[in-house]
Amino acid sequence: MTTSSQFDYDLLVIGAGSGGVRASRVAASLGARVAVVEAGRLGGTCVNVGCIPKKLLSHAAHFSQAFEEARGFGWQVPQARFDWATLIANKDREIHRLNGVYDQLLAKAGVELVTGRARITGPHSVAVGDRTLSARHILVATGGRPQMPAIAGIEWAISSDDAFSLPELPRRVVVVGGGYIAVEFASIFNGLGAETTLLHRSARLLRHFDADLGAALAAQMAHHGVQLRLERQIEAIAQHVDRGDDGLQLQLDDGPALIADCVLFATGRVPNTEGLGLEAAGVQLDARGAVLVDEGFTSSIPSIHAVGDVVDRMALTPVALAEGTVLAHRLFGGADKAAPDYALVPTAVFSHPNVGTVGLSEAQARERHGDVQVFESSFRPLTNRLSDTPEPVFLKLVVAGADQRVVGVHMVGEEAGELIQGFAVALQCGATKAQFDATLGIHPTIAEEFVTMREPVAS
């Protein structure tokens, strides 16, 4: 039996993103000797090329709509001008600040930071440059990366990672994909003034969400000016030269080619396990390269664990944080923490309009519970009336079982993320439709509609 003193560390974490930093800090607070190895910038995807910069750009894009709406409330807004360079510089400053915050958090927790690219060389050893570090436990928290399709000319395309540092706002953008990253970027570029096309191979946006959400969002995005090209694929990309109007020519599987200045593929992400030495160490991976872990986040090698996007369960920051916390407690004797309930993870899409959701879609509820009741409402909120904006909000409750439990709450509309967070607590507590009905509304709000829907949709 080995003791921790035989190793340099009790826990060596690879990746200082959401999951890795959380696990490091919690483990250190429980008395473990911890180091974290990071090859890039502190904070990982979320801080540098994910949630944070995306939300800032999304907020920036929303102003164009706000300027329009302001007129109905008596404001004379002169022709607004947008400056991409200012937005990117300010966004970079905020991210730099957050990188510093992460650095301080690790230092304060007593976690050693090792800079460099890590490679696992055995069940207890990791190489970083010419150093070899040993640890009783190794945590793989290396996240994921964008997946680009193998089509001719793909080198002309960008991924979401690149979109945050474009030198200028492209005039014509094509965003490829139908998931949350694709619809968010299409909304961002469109709101900032680029001619924007969203091209997706299937007819449905946001396929992991309730089907009505994707349909409602598609209608609203089209209303805001995003050109939707559904059931189309790009087969090849070439340079397009046309007397001063140079760009990219996107050859489609059907119909005439599209000309654009920028094409962004948001067609999926893959776990970051290539070149990590996992297979050689005996760690089992799935077909997509994700680390296979048990319920406690331990891999097929008992001393090697994994959390976050690299396990490919649910690629969201709060999920990576929760998994990191559970693992650290389990390894270092903290309070017993249950793994997150993946069926009840609330999430938002920061498209225009926003989408918010928690719990089961109608289809999932029908599959799991058989008999379900659905309550829906679609209406123009008060604030859209003076601005003459036709944008309706869409709300949906899914109710199942003999006790009429609310198993899904879904919304398309302004601030959906803020609003769904509170309903996630209700679902976590097992709220029933009767309890929703007994709750008084806050008037006049959009959210009050969730507690006043009485008539189920006929199924």
Ligand X SMILES: Cc1cc2nc3c(=O)[nH]c(=O)nc-3n(C[C@H](O)[C@H](O)[C@H](O)COP(=O)(O)OP(=O)(O)OC[C@H]3O[C@@H](n4cnc5c(N)ncnc54)[C@H](O)[C@@H]3O)c2cc1C
Helices 18-29 and 84-109, packing angle to 10 deg: 20
315 binds ligand X (CB under 6 A): yes
38 binds ligand X (CB under 6 A): yes
The alpha carbon dihedral of 441, 444, 449, 453 has a sign of positive
From the list 49-57, 105-113, 397-405, 422-430, the region that binds ligand X by CB under 6 A is 49-57
331 binds ligand X (CB under 6 A): no
In this chain, which of 12, 34, 37, 431 binds ligand X, going by CB under 6 A?
37
CB of residue 193 to ligand X, shortest distance in Å:
20
Please report where in the chains the tokens 């959009």 appear, as a residue. 446
Structure tokens at 240: 């397009």
26 binds ligand X (CB under 6 A): no
Q: What span, in angstroms and rounded, lies between the C-alpha atoms of 211 and 394?
A: 12
Q: Which amino acid would we find at residue 383?
A: T
Q: What span, in angstroms and rounded, lies between the C-alpha atoms of 430 and 425?
A: 9
25 binds ligand X (CB under 6 A): no
Structure tokens at 49: 């090329």
Q: How crowded is residue 41: how many other Cβ atoms within 10 Å of its Cβ?
A: 16
CB of residue 144 to ligand X, shortest distance in Å:
6
Q: Collapsing DSSP states into helix, strand and coil, what is residue 389?
A: coil
154 binds ligand X (CB under 6 A): no
Structure tokens at 82: 């947008």
65 binds ligand X (CB under 6 A): no
In this chain, which of 35, 139, 141, 213 binds ligand X, going by CB under 6 A?
141
Residue nearer to ligand X on the CB measure, 264 or 397? 264
In this chain, which of 298, 317, 354, 361 binds ligand X, going by CB under 6 A?
317
- H/E stretch holding 236 reads strand 234-240
From the list 50-58, 375-383, 384-392, 408-416, the region that binds ligand X by CB under 6 A is 50-58
318 binds ligand X (CB under 6 A): yes
Which residues, including other chains, have CB under 8 Å from residue 457's CB and lie 6 or more apart? 374, 375, 376
18 binds ligand X (CB under 6 A): yes
CB-based burial of residue 55 (10 Å sphere; 0-12 exposed, 13-18 middle, 19+ buried)? Answer: middle
19 binds ligand X (CB under 6 A): yes
CB of residue 291 to ligand X, shortest distance in Å:
11
Residues in contact with ligand X, shown as a per-residue x/- string from 390 to 419 under the rule CB under 6 A: ------------------------------
Exposure on the CB side of residue 154, measured as CA atoms within 13 A: 13
From the list 83-91, 306-314, 406-414, 449-457, the region that binds ligand X by CB under 6 A is 306-314
Residue nearer to ligand X on the CB measure, 289 or 318? 318
Q: What span, in angstroms and rounded, lies between the C-alpha atoms of 451 and 401?
A: 19
Site for ligand X in 195-234 (CB under 6 A): none
CA terminus-to-terminus distance, the chain = 62
Residue nearer to ligand X on the CB measure, 12 or 397? 12
179 binds ligand X (CB under 6 A): no
In this chain, which of 64, 233, 272, 361 binds ligand X, going by CB under 6 A?
272
Query: What does the DSSP assignment read for 260-309?
Result: ESEEEE---EEES-TTS-TTTTT--B-TTSPBP--TTSB-SSTTEEE-GG
Is 291 within 8 Å of 283 (Cβ atoms)? yes
Which residues, including other chains, have CB under 8 Å from residue 292's CB and lie 6 or more apart? 283, 284, 285, 286, 299, 300, 311
Q: What span, in angstroms and rounded, lies between the C-alpha atoms of 318 and 265?
A: 25
325 binds ligand X (CB under 6 A): no
Tell me whether strands 125-128 and 393-400 are parallel, antiparallel or unpaired: unpaired
187 binds ligand X (CB under 6 A): no
From the list 249-257, 311-319, 357-365, 385-393, the region that binds ligand X by CB under 6 A is 311-319
User: Which of the 8 DSSP states describes residue 244?
Assistant: T
277 binds ligand X (CB under 6 A): no
Residue nearer to ligand X on the CB measure, 16 or 234? 16
Q: Largest Cα–Cα distance in the chain?
A: 76
From the list 105-113, 141-149, 337-345, 369-377, the region that binds ligand X by CB under 6 A is 141-149
In this chain, which of 44, 177, 178, 346 binds ligand X, going by CB under 6 A?
44
Q: Collapsing DSSP states into helix, strand and coil, what is residue 323?
A: helix
Q: Is 443 one of the annotated active-site residues of the chain?
A: yes
51 binds ligand X (CB under 6 A): yes
Which residues, including other chains, have CB under 8 Å from residue 4's CB and lie 6 or more apart? 10, 33, 136
CB of residue 129 to ligand X, shortest distance in Å:
11
Q: Which residues are catalytic?
A: 443
Question: Residues in the site for ligand X, rule: CB under 6 A?
Answer: 14-20, 37-40, 44-46, 49-51, 54, 117-118, 141-143, 160, 181, 272, 276, 308-310, 315-318, 320
